[in-house]
Amino acid sequence: MKKPIILTVDDDAQVLAAITRDLRQEFRKDYRILSVNSGPEALATLTELRARADEPLALVLADQRMPEVEGVEVLTRARELFPEAKRVLLTAYADTTAAIKAINSAQLDYYLLKPWDPPEQLLYPTLHDLLNSWQASYRPAFAGLRLIGFQWSPLSHELKDFLSGYMVGYQWLDYEKDAEAKVLLEANGFKADDLPVVICPDSKAVARPDKLDLARHLGLLVDAQQELYDVVVVGAGPAGLAAAVYGASEGLKTLIIERQTPGGQAGSSSRIENYLGFPTGLSGAELAHRAWTQATRLGAEFMAPQEVVSMCIQDGYKVLTLTDNKEIKARAVVLTTGVSYRTLNAPGLDRLSGAGVYYGAARTEARSCSQQPVYVIGGGNSAGQAAMYLSTYASQVFIVIRGDSLTASMSAYLIEQIAQTPNITILPRTQVREACGQYALEAVVIQQEGHEPEKHPARALFIFIGAKPSTEWVCDLAICDPKGYLLTGRDLVADPRYKQAWKKDREPYLLETCVPGMFAAGDGRAGAMARVASAVGEGSMAIKFVHQYLDE
């Protein structure tokens, strides 16, 4: 595989020479730098690169003011041909308004003001971040771990989701379409009945692997390293990751346990654009991976995929039992178990789950929807972000909502982006009545209020509806509201029904459950705000109360 390419275009010869010089000085070791001096030449170069399978495009930098073809048009075309490539607009101060508008219209990743001197401060840090992000999501034509399976296999989908959640680079080979898949399968002594098969970089091949065994082989921590922890965080969504970062950074022996992949519901978001400090947005998986890396660098242990199935109190210590019956002891616990999407009740959905019907998982399955129609159910930000991401691949994206519009449940910036995307259609006052297909989803039956049901072809159905707290395993120990959300702080003592459950002389801390030393943060807590920033805030606050509890 040849080096990934950084393409820069500017009609000003001096500026082009300067940006090319700076790029080569910093990035030539790992990237090939291409420079062109006009918009039409840039479009021709993009088309030529698309025809070559062995030259990936990592980054495009285009000047805005060019004759014939402006920079935004070049970046828009780059997005069509190379959806994963990062796009940066070079602009003068007077054109910043156009650059900001381009963030939505061309899905711009960043804009840089000219001049960028010194590049060590004004150019390189931004480009390093963008290229690191591209490297994290880019799948080379051949490298590392391979996954062979059937496109419509639920187990294949689970493994793809698992690997993507931990940002493990892998090559997906469809047994029915890729000739290489059959060759590799036979070479490793397997048959079609053994699928899915994982072939690791060390050539070890495993049929229908258990996630725990696969995690061990990938070097993930699946067993606790300490006999006693100061704090155990259950759940690695934004709240749990924040708690792990602050707990480890403040010297607490910290363990975080996640049953699936880091990020929780936020981790499945294809693009989060309203999180503080990221003006052009980032994916939920990127945010989770950065936080996970930060927590482990500071000393937190990260166990996954492991699930806590019960907890009891022994002499003041919290004893957590895992699915494999192993026990972990902690002085304090922070529950950040979050919520999961509610399942939709309609004929065919359960049967085709993982075979065209998906809860979340838009990033995992988007590529398989190329030039085919897909449906998204839900009117929240997660649904909107998924629709925008899918629109890059699918021929048409239909957003199905029960209400009249998206204004009551979706952020304004997303509504604006959706309105500007020609292949996204909103279906108001509509419900999905049935999913059709023998082995995989082939069509959906939808019904608009006041009309007869209609059947339409569909490659995939992505469901983002409601939220169900993942607290069933702890409700016999902690007090939950009727919907299953954990009650904390003043909610425990203000309501006469729960007041007797609190046994200590002091009032419970703000995020403390009815069990002293057991705290709840994030979406699984009653009264929490379903936002990434608030979850991060609660996770970090929980560690402050852990300190107060441990100092008693």
Q: Which of 148-152, 167-171, 451-455 tops mean pLDDT? A: 451-455
**Are residues 397 and 320 part of one domain?**
no
**Are residues 364 and 336 part of one domain?**
no
Angle between helices 412-419 and 381-390 (to 10 degrees): 30
DSSP β-bridge partners for residue 505: none
Determine the Cα–Cα distance for residues 236 and 254; give it in Å rounded to an integer: 13
**How many alpha carbons lie under 13 Å from residue 117 in its C-beta half-sphere?**
4
The mean predicted confidence, pLDDT, of the chain is 89
**Are residues 241 and 166 part of one domain?**
no
Q: How many domains does the chain have?
A: 4
Q: What is the mean pLDDT of residues 45-62?
A: 80
In a domain, 352, yes or no: no
What CATH number has the domain bearing residue 14? 3.40.50.2300
Residue with tokens 């009727």: 482
Convert the pLDDT of each residue in 346-365 to its tens digit. Answer: 999 999 999 999 988 777 88
In a domain, 346, yes or no: no
Q: What pLDDT is attached to residue 275?
A: 85
In a domain, 480, yes or no: no
Cα–Cα nearest to 486, from 473, 471, 498: 471
Beta-strand runs (E) in 369-453: 373-377, 396-400, 424-427, 430-436, 443-448
**Are residues 156 and 175 part of one domain?**
yes
**Are residues 105 and 69 part of one domain?**
yes
Convert the pLDDT of each residue in 375-394 to its tens digit. Answer: 999 998 889 999 999 999 99
**pTM tops 0.85:** no
Q: What pLDDT is attached to residue 373?
A: 97
What CATH number has the domain bearing residue 401? 3.50.50.60
Convert the pLDDT of each residue in 91-104 to its tens digit. Answer: 876 567 766 776 77
Determine the Cα–Cα distance for residues 302 and 253; give it in Å rounded to an integer: 12
Determine the Cα–Cα distance for residues 103 and 160; give it in Å rounded to an integer: 30
Convert the pLDDT of each residue in 513-537 to its tens digit. Answer: 999 999 999 999 999 888 899 999 9
**Are residues 459 and 361 part of one domain?**
yes
Q: What is the mean pLDDT of residues 172-198?
A: 86
Pairing of strands 424-427, 430-436: unpaired
Q: Going edge to edge, which strands form the sheet with 32-36?
A: 32-36, 5-9, 57-63, 86-91, 110-113
In a domain, 479, yes or no: no
Domain that holds residue 164: 145-217
In a domain, 408, yes or no: yes
Convert the pLDDT of each residue in 103-152 to its tens digit. Answer: 776 678 888 888 888 989 889 999 999 999 898 888 665 557 889 999 88
Convert the pLDDT of each residue in 326-345 to its tens digit. Answer: 999 999 999 999 988 888 88
Which phi and psi (to 5°) does residue 22 adopt?
-65, -40
**Are residues 391 and 293 part of one domain?**
no
Q: What pLDDT is attached to residue 392?
A: 92
88: which 2 tokens? 């940066």
Q: Per-residue b/e over 50-62, b at no fewer than 16 CB within 10 Å?
A: eeeeebbbbbbbb
For the four alpha carbons of 354, 356, 361 and 364, in that order, the dihedral sign comes to positive
12: which 2 tokens? 């000003």
In a domain, 222, yes or no: no
Determine the Cα–Cα distance for residues 82 and 79; give it in Å rounded to an integer: 5
Q: What pLDDT is attached to residue 363?
A: 78
Determine the Cα–Cα distance for residues 234 and 539; give it in Å rounded to an integer: 11
- Number of H helices and number of E strands within the chain? 18, 26
- Picking from 87, 115, 137, the residue at the C-terminal end of a domain is 137
What CATH number has the domain bearing residue 160? 3.40.30.10
> Burial of 169 by CB count in 10 Å (0-12 exposed, 13-18 middle, 19+ buried)?
middle
Determine the Cα–Cα distance for residues 522 and 237; give it in Å rounded to an integer: 8
In a domain, 505, yes or no: yes
**Are residues 387 and 364 part of one domain?**
yes
Determine the Cα–Cα distance for residues 441 and 348; give it in Å rounded to an integer: 9
In a domain, 347, yes or no: no
**Are residues 514 and 544 part of one domain?**
yes
DSSP string, 170-228: EEEEETTT-HHHHHHHHHTT--GGG-SEEE-TTS-EEES--HHHHHHHTT-B-S---SE
**Are residues 207 and 267 part of one domain?**
no
**Are residues 442 and 370 part of one domain?**
yes
pLDDT over 90 (residue 422): yes
**Are residues 332 and 294 part of one domain?**
yes
Report the range of poorest mean pLDDT among 96-100, 306-310, 390-394, 452-456: 96-100
